[in-house]
Amino acid sequence: MFHFIQILLALPIRLLFPTKIIGRKNIPKGACILSSNHTSNMDSVMLAVKTWEKKYYLAKKELFKNKIFGFFLTKLGAIKIDRQANDINAIKNCLKVLKNNKKLVIFPEGTRVHNENMELGEVKHGVAMFAIKAKVPVVPIFILRQPKIFRRNKIFVGSPFTLEEFYGKRLDSNELERAGQIVTAKMNELREFALNSLTKKK
């Protein structure tokens, strides 16, 4: 069902949102976390359609209010999460995805952020927590612009990294803060690379 929907959406998405993925080969085989900035509700759809392998996404429960959109999100791998509560079921489902050697996409800012310089919002510690608990690599992703109809865009995929130094440690707030800072730094490095590559072409 996933690949059927993926193929069904591929042509209209390609026509309406012409987007190039740079660094696709940086996505490793097997389990990993794709940690992306969040510009719009189209982000997860773009990543699902633009890369063949099925991935799973944390998506706020509000997106499922529209039954049709919610159906497509579920089939595309969305995992419903209640952002206003400590959603244990969502956490368990994410860890299960990684344990089953699948890929998990997280937007660690937790909400859509788009500004003139595409600066990251506050990067929360979910990526770090899941990466450490599941002992899987993190792949930073940077969406260059907020998707708009007929506007060309680019999605940059950075080199994977691990948080091995935290494996086996007690994840208190200080350790999560340190691990989260590494995730933030890697995402900002990719952002700088993406913006510099855009400047060089001008």
User: Under DSSP, is residue 177 helix (H, G, I), strand (E, B) or coil?
Assistant: helix
Tell me which residue of 18, 8, 67 sits closest to 42, measured CA to CA: 18
Whether 137 has a pLDDT exceeding 90, the answer reads: yes
pLDDT digits (tens, 9 = 90+) for 47-99: 888 888 999 988 888 888 888 888 878 887 889 888 777 789 999 999 999 99
In the chain, where does DSSP find H-type helix?
A: 2-16, 43-50, 67-75, 88-99, 126-134, 173-201
CA distance 41 to 48: 12
Q: Which residue has the higher pLDDT, 158 or 120?
A: 158
Q: Which two tokens stand for residue 58?
A: 């944390």
Q: Which two tokens stand for residue 49?
A: 């359609």
Please give the C-alpha separations between residue 170 and each of 129, 133, 140, 165, 184, in angstroms, as whole numbers. Answer: 11, 10, 25, 12, 21
Whether 44 has a pLDDT exceeding 90, the answer reads: no
Q: Which residue has the higher pLDDT, 142 or 5?
A: 142
- The pLDDT assigned to 164 comes to 97
* Residue 200 confidence class, pLDDT cut points 50, 70, 90: low
Mean pLDDT of 141-155: 93
CA distance 177 to 124: 9
pLDDT digits (tens, 9 = 90+) for 114-124: 777 788 888 89
Q: At what angle do helices 88-99 and 126-134 cross, to 10 degrees?
A: 50
- The pLDDT assigned to 110 comes to 77
Say how many residues make up the chain: 202
Q: What is the CATH code of the structural domain delimited by 2-201?
A: 3.40.1130.10
Residues 1, 91, 162: CA angle, nearest 5 degrees: 90
Q: Which residue has the higher pLDDT, 148 or 52?
A: 148
Whether 19 has a pLDDT exceeding 80, the answer reads: yes
Q: What is the pTM of this model?
A: 0.90
